[in-house]
Chains A and B, each alone.
Chain A
Amino acid sequence: MDPVTIDTTKIRMTKRKPETALEKLEDTNLINTLLAAKDREGFILLTTIDQAMNWGRLSSLWPVTSGLACCAIEMMAVSMAHHDIARFGMEVFRASPRQADLMFVAGTVTKRMAPRVKQLYEMMSEPKWVISVGSCANTGGPYHESYCVLKGVDNIIPVDVYIPGCPPRPEAWLYGIIQLREKIKNEGYGAKWGLNK
């Protein structure tokens, strides 16, 4: 492809004092470059960085090993030869949350385990995503009426993707992972302004 240069004369300068958050953003040079990029249909380094970063993030999600209950066995099944989560660059299950950027909440979150799950989530470094797997983690599931089960893990940590099932089949896991990849693909400023197309 041809190298592209930015024609600075085309950059729109804001005159009045910025008020809203978007205007403040526009006040920086970054936004102007981005806007210029929009006019030139991509091919500009900054939009591709956004895309490249998202691509990098979604292609090597490293989950933290935090199996709680029944779904953890299906998590093992997903990562084994037959279903092979390695196709998504995710076979590296990390024992330490500090090296991971994805958490499968796989199983029943009991009242006693809830603060530990929350702590685990807080120990993960940004950017981080959570997939809630199985009815128990989604809503409490069959144990909704129990005296010692948390009614949904989204009560304590934000969740990106919910996978239903008790336990979900490995195919459902893979579908949930694909959904998360779609979500990550559309993160960042570039996607918000339609530059990542």
Chain B
Amino acid sequence: METETLLLNMGPVHPSTHGVLRFKLRMDGEIIRDCQIVVGYLHRGTEKFGEMKTYLQFIPYTDRLDYIAAMPNNYAYVKAVEELAGIEVPQRAEYIRVLVMELNRVINHLVFMGSLLLDLGASTMIMYGFRERENALQLYESLCGARMTFNYIRPGGVREDLPDGFIPKLNEFIKDMEKRIVDYEELVNGNEIFLMRMKNIGVINAEEAINYGMTGPSMRGSGVDHDIRKLEPYSIYQDLDFKACMRREGDSYARYLVRVDEIRESLHILKQIVDKLPKGNTINQRYGFAPNTGAPSAVTSYFPRIFTPAEGEVYSRIEAPKGELGFFVASDGTTKPYRVKIRSPSFCNLVALPKMVLGLKIPDLIAAFGTIDIVLGDVDR
């Protein structure tokens, strides 16, 4: 029977939109006929700050893009600057960088699992996820003093070396987490209601996923085996043993499973790093210098506050927990970048959502949207 369509507004303040996102839906009864996404409610002008601040001053702003997993943002920007200026990084610093990034991937996927289940109406998982997250955040606190916005990675290395007792605590976390992840799978994966909400919902095939610019775990749920850590190995990833997790179904459940597998892979990487962690400097000594103001001996090297890379442009990308995170940095030979452009994974992954939810119901929109795993700070910048 033909019925009149109804315009339905969802957001920007809505508990299931993970922040300030707005859907404009055209509904035929319960069926979504058209879905428009309105973004920009958290647009803070980060790219303009890139032009207004010096190279080092911009690092804290990258923390606030994807605030659930801030360390990869730090690294992606610093990597672009390093490529632009041709800065070498000592081996120990590279290991510490990968360590903190993989730990952040675990945190990100824990928050993902929790918030997805919360959206679907189950509130146990978020309690568990945040409990484990709190343990990981304590590691970060001992490392750099911050829980979420780290400002830790510097061009040429990292800000500070690992504190005493970090590695034993990390080992404890890994051991604990390996047990917990089995619990979570038992709790969630076989749940009848969960399966019904997730299976065959929000299906997208491999070709479309690539064309719509999906990257990261969301794309790998569609049977595309592409991971930038494998494609263009950066940092020390070529020395590590891991696999790009992939599922073929392309539905919400596949995207969920990819992320659960990635937690395991990240823990595997962390264990390798703990074994291999070399000794040495944590910042490039050519750039770092010891302050002669009687500073504490622990802080022995700084990156100079002002430095000027040669004129040029660079686009550098990494595999962030949410997908391909890239920074385009253009330099005009002054102390400030001429242009900083952020290619954020959440923004590009969101383009495919209207395609995925056509013909579904509103609760399915929530499920499909939850498995894309976006953060609004990353979408709107």
Contacts and interface: CB of A to CB of B under 8 A. Distances in A.
- Asked whether the complex places CB atoms of A and B closer than 8 A, the reply is yes
Interface of A: 65-70, 72-74, 76-77, 80-82, 93, 95, 107-108, 110, 112-113, 116, 120, 142-143, 145-149, 166-167, 169
A170 to B, nearest CB: 8
B8 interface: no
A146 B130 contact: no
A65 B18 CA distance: 11
B52 interface: yes
A146 B48 contact: yes
Interface stretch (B35-43, B276-284, B317-325, B357-365): B35-43
A80 B126 contact: yes
Interface in B31-81: 40-45, 48-49, 52, 60-61, 64, 67-68
A3 B131 CA distance: 51
A81 B131 contact: yes
Which 6 A/B pairs are nearest by Cβ-Cβ distance?
A80-B130, A70-B67, A146-B45, A82-B134, A95-B15, A113-B41
Contacts of B14: 95
Given A82-B131, A110-B42, A116-B41, 12 more contacts: A68-B20, A69-B377, A74-B147, A81-B127, A108-B44, A112-B43, A113-B42, A120-B13, A142-B61, A145-B49, A146-B44, A146-B48
Contacts of A70: 64, 67, 148-149, 377
A97 to B, nearest CB: 8
B126 A66 contact: no
Given A70-B67, A81-B127, A113 B44 contact: no
Contacts of A82: 130-131, 134
A107 B12 CA distance: 14
Contacts of A169: 147
Contacts, number: 88
A145 B42 contact: no
A144 to B, nearest CB: 11
Given A74-B148, A108-B44, A116 B12 contact: yes
A142 B48 contact: no
A74 B133 CA distance: 11
A113 to B, nearest CB: 5
Interface string B14-34: 110001100000000000000
Contacts of A149: 44-45
Contacts of A142: 60-61, 64
